[in-house]
Amino acid sequence: MKKSKRTQPRSIASIPLKSFRNTWANACNTMWVEITAISHLETYLRGQYPFIANNAELSDVIYAPTCVSYRGTRRINRVGNTKNDILKDITKYLNYPVILRVVLLSAAFESYFLEFLDRYLENRPKYFNGGKRTAAGNKIHDDVKKARGPVNRIAKFKELTNAKINSITPHLDALSDVYMIRNVMAHSAGICTVQDVESFKTISPIANEVIHISVQHLVDKLAKPCLEIANSLDGKIIPGDIT
């Protein structure tokens, strides 16, 4: 008797989900590079502190050709940061690569969800027929997009389609925080108001200060739940997966 050949299971992830995953993986990789570079700069400045003039600029201390520009032989652009400027704000410099990844995470999830919505509708004849959305499909599409923020959009999607997606409920607090952080960064340079502080679910920022997030919290408490939500939604694209 011939043994049947074992085949590898086919990946069921949609192209938008793969794109979301790849975007986040690249964001993490570049974040680590940035944090490593900043940490090495701090180590260098502290180790060489007595030998670096107080008025020396960063571009005079390390090789950073992209930080300066020249007109002929005359330097016309300088970084403007001295050793004391950098060391004083080193915590801020280390925080920004992390918090900016939250903004990217929010944008990447929003892009994924809108593409998921289109594919969900396109796979159901009552919502998509003859190469275009039906009236019912247009209503769902438009009403979901009108909802403010990803959590409200998901709630509206569930309400209108009756999709069984209760498994993602525990992850929605993280998604809500990601969206809130994105808004605080976009509208107030990351500085929280008292009202903002009261709205967060998984972090406890200080009012009137820039949000600070550890790498561990970003990866485990914010990004992982968002990826879990996307993974669960992706399984609902094909009608047979709605049970």
* Confidence band, pLDDT 50/70/90 cuts, at residue 238: confident
What are the tens digits of pLDDT across the range 8-60? 444 478 999 999 999 999 999 999 999 999 999 999 999 999 999 998 888 77
63-99 residues labelled b (16+ CB within 10 A) or e (exposed): eeeeeeeeeeeeeeeebebbbeebbeebeebbbbbbb
Distance CA 97, CA 55 (A): 27
**Which residues 6+ apart lie within 8 Å of 242 measured at CB?**
163, 164, 236
Letter for the amino acid at 11? S
pLDDT, tens only, 223-236? 999 999 999 999 99
Q: Is 9 within the bounds of a domain?
A: no
Domain assignment present for 68: no
> Is residue 182 in some structural domain?
yes
216 in a structural domain: yes
Note the pLDDT of residue 74: 61
The counts of H helices and E strands in the chain are: 10, 4
Q: Is residue 176 part of a domain?
A: yes
**pLDDT tens column, 99-142:** 999 999 999 999 999 999 999 999 999 999 999 999 999 999 99
Q: Determine, yes or no, domain membership for 2.
A: no
What's the domain range around 236?
15-47+89-241
Q: Is the pLDDT of residue 182 over 70?
A: yes
**Is residue 73 situated within a structural domain?**
no
43 is a domain residue:
yes
Give the total number of structural domains in the chain.
1
Cα→Cα distances 3→6, 147, 164, 204, Å: 9, 54, 40, 58
Contact 219, 28 (CB under 8 A): yes
